[in-house]
C-alpha cells in the first residue's frame, strides 16, 4: 500500500514527509483493518512532522481522522492471556464491528483502563494512553489498523470528507467548549479560526452562543463571518463569558484572559502552545478568571459529539486534497493558507 511517513522530523518545507510503499498491516487481537476513504489533516500532524511533539516511533504514518470501511478483523481471541484477564486489564470480549462497517479512526488509540483516571471517566489523563499517528501508524495510508474499542461507528449517508474532520477537530473542539464553561446564550471568544474552531463555532452557535472571533488571515475571517460571528477582528468590543484559544500561540492567552468578564474561563484547546508570557495577577487572573487546558479527549466526548452532530446544523467546510498532496496540504496549514478543514481523499 501507499503511505506517508515521517522519516526525520523537521521544518515542513524541508520535506520531512515521504510517500513510501508499505505492506498492508495486520490487525491483532481486538483490532480491525480499515480501508481508508478519507483522512483529515490536523495541525497536530504538522507538530508531529516538524518535531514539536517528540517522535515515539521512527517512520510513523501520521493522520488521525480517518474514515473508512472495516475489511478484516484480528483473528486471535481478544480476551488476552489468562494472566491479563485475571489482572482485570479490561479486555472487552464483544465484537463491535463487522467487515463492511464504516468506522472512524481518531486520535485516542488506547488507555490502560485500570488507573485512577480511567476508572473515574477521565481516560484522557491516563499516563499510558496511546495515540494514532504518534504511537502507532495512522490514516495517511491506504489501510490503517485500529483497536475496535477506540473506533467510532459512523453514518454511511454522509460523504467521508465531511465526517473526517469531526474525528479530531470536532471532538477536541467539543471538549474545549465543555471545558470553557460557556453559560447558555453566553458570549464566546474564539482565538484562531482553523479546522477545530470553525466546527466548534457552529456547535456553540447552534446552542445559542454569540461568537467573537479573533483571527488573522482574510479567508479565516470570511469563514467566521459566514458562520454568523457577531464580531470578527483583533479585539472583542465587549467582555466575554468564555473563550477558547485554538491558535498555538501563548501570547494570545493574556489577551484572552483580559477580555473576560469576572468569573470567566479561557480554555486552551491545542496539544501544543508556545510559551505563555508572564501574567499579571490583577489584569489577567483576579476576579476569579480561570485558565484551563484541554488534554486529548475521552471516548465519551466523541460519542457525545457524534450524537450532537446528528441533530445540529454542524458541517465541516472542507477542502479536498488528493492523497498524493498530503505534504503540500500540511505546508498550507503551516503557512496559514488553509481555511476550514483540509481532507485527503483516497480514490477507490
Ligand atoms: Zn489509565
Ligand atoms: Zn488532531
Distance 248 CA to ligand 2 centre (A): 13
Q: Quote the pLDDT of residue 54.
A: 87
Distance 125 CA to ligand 1 centre (A): 7
Cell of 211: 461568537
Distance 271 CA to ligand 2 centre (A): 9
Rounded average pLDDT over 202-208: 97
Average pLDDT, rounded, for the chain = 94
Q: Quote the pLDDT of residue 82.
A: 57
Residue 347, CA atoms < 13 Å, CB-side half-sphere: 4
Q: How far is CA 13 from the centre of its chain?
A: 23
Residues of the chain with CATH 3.40.50.720: 171-293
- Reference 215, options 202, 229, 204; nearest CA is 229
- Please determine, for residue 85, whether its predicted confidence score (pLDDT) is greater than 60: no
CA 202 – CA 168 distance, rounded (Å):
15
Residues of the chain with CATH 3.90.180.10: 2-157+317-345
Q: Any idea which of 48-57, 106-115, 161-170 has the lowest mean pLDDT?
A: 48-57
- Please determine, for residue 266, whether its predicted confidence score (pLDDT) is greater than 70: yes
> Which ligand has the shortest distance to the CA of 108?
2
Q: Quote the pLDDT of residue 87.
A: 61
Q: How far is CA 12 from CA 53, 115, 122, 345, in A?
A: 14, 37, 34, 21
Rounded average pLDDT over 185-212: 97
- Please determine, for residue 77, whether its predicted confidence score (pLDDT) is greater than 60: no
CATH number of this structure's domain 2-157+317-345: 3.90.180.10
Confidence of residue 345 (pLDDT cuts 50, 70, 90): very high
State the residue for C-alpha cell 489468562.
82
CA 25 – CA 17 distance, rounded (Å):
20
Q: Quote the pLDDT of residue 347.
A: 81
Report the percent of the chain where pLDDT is more than 70: 94
> Which ligand has the shortest distance to the CA of 169?
2
Distance 295 CA to ligand 1 centre (A): 14
Distance 44 CA to ligand 2 centre (A): 5
Q: Quote the pLDDT of residue 294.
A: 97
CATH number of this structure's domain 171-293: 3.40.50.720
Distance 274 CA to ligand 1 centre (A): 28
Distance 114 CA to ligand 2 centre (A): 25
Q: Quote the pLDDT of residue 338.
A: 87
Distance 50 CA to ligand 1 centre (A): 28
> Which ligand has the shortest distance to the CA of 333?
2
Kindly give, in sequence order, each residue whose CB lies less than 8 Å from that of residue 69, ignoring residues fewer than 6 positions away.
34, 35, 37, 100, 101, 102, 103
Confidence of residue 86 (pLDDT cuts 50, 70, 90): low
Which pTM was predicted? 0.92
CA 232 – CA 244 distance, rounded (Å):
15
Rounded average pLDDT over 49-70: 95
* Buried-state track 236-259, b at ≥16 Cβ within 10 A, e below 16: beeebbbbbbbbbbeebbbbbbeb
- Please determine, for residue 89, whether its predicted confidence score (pLDDT) is greater than 90: no
Report the percent of the chain where pLDDT is more than 90: 88
Distance 128 CA to ligand 1 centre (A): 6
Contact 296, 173 (CB under 8 A): no
CA 120 – CA 135 distance, rounded (Å):
24
Rounded average pLDDT over 8-34: 95
Kindly give, in sequence order, each residue whose CB lies less than 8 Å from that of residue 193, ignoring residues fewer than 6 positions away.
201, 213, 215, 217, 220, 221, 223, 224, 246
State the residue for C-alpha cell 463492511.
100
Amino acid at each position: 500500500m501507499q503511505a506517508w511517513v515521517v522519516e526525520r522530523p523537521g521544518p515542513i518545507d524541508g520535506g520531512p514527509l515521504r510517500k513510501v510503499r508499505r505492506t498492508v498491516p495486520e490487525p491483532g487481537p481486538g483490532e480491525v483493518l480499515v480501508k481508508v476513504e478519507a483522512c483529515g489533516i490536523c495541525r497536530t500532524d504538522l507538530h508531529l512532522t516538524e518535531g514539536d511533539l517528540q517522535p515515539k516511533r521512527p517512520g510513523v504514518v501520521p493522520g488521525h481522522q480517518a474514515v473508512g470501511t472495516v475489511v478484516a478483523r484480528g483473528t486471535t481471541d481478544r480476551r488476552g492471556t489468562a494472566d491479563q484477564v485475571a489482572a482485570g486489564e479490561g479486555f472487552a470480549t464483544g465484537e463491535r464491528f463487522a467487515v463492511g462497517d464504516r468506522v472512524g479512526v481518531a486520535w485516542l488509540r488506547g488507555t490502560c483502563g485500570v488507573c485512577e483516571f480511567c476508572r473515574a471517566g477521565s481516560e484522557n489523563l491516563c499516563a499510558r494512553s496511546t495515540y494514532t499517528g504518534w504511537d502507532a501508524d495512522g490514516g495517511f495510508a491506504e489501510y490503517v489498523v485500529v483497536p475496535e474499542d477506540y473506533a467510532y461507528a459512523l453514518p454511511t449517508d454522509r460523504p467521508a470528507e465531511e465526517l473526517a474532520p469531526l474525528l479530531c477537530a470536532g471532538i477536541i473542539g467539543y471538549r474545549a467548549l465543555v471545558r470553557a464553561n460557556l453559560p447558555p446564550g453566553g458570549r464566546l471568544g474564539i482565538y484562531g479560526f482553523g479546522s477545530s474552531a470553525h466546527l466548534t463555532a457552529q456547535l456553540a452557535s447552534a446552542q445559542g452562543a454569540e461568537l467573537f472571533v479573533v483571527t488573522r488571515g482574510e479567508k479565516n475571517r470570511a469563514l467566521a463571518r459566514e458562520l454568523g460571528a457577531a464580531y470578527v477582528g483583533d479585539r472583542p468590543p465587549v467582555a466575554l463569558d468564555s473563550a477558547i484559544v485554538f491558535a498555538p500561540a501563548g501570547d494570545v492567552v493574556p489577551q484572552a484572559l483580559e477580555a473576560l468578564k469576572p468569573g470567566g474561563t479561557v480554555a486552551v484547546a491545542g496539544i501544543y502552545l508556545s510559551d505563555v508570557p508572564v501574567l499579571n495577577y490583577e489584569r489577567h487572573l483576579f476576579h476569579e478568571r480561570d485558565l484551563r487546558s484541554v488534554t486529548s479527549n475521552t471516548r465519551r466526548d466523541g460519542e457525545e459529539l457524534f450524537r450532537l452532530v446528528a441533530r445540529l446544523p454542524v458541517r465541516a467546510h472542507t477542502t479536498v486534497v488528493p492523497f498524493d498532496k498530503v505534504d503540500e496540504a500540511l505546508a498550507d496549514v503551516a503557512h496559514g493558507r488553509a481555511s476550514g478543514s483540509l481532507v485527503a481523499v483516497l480514490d477507490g
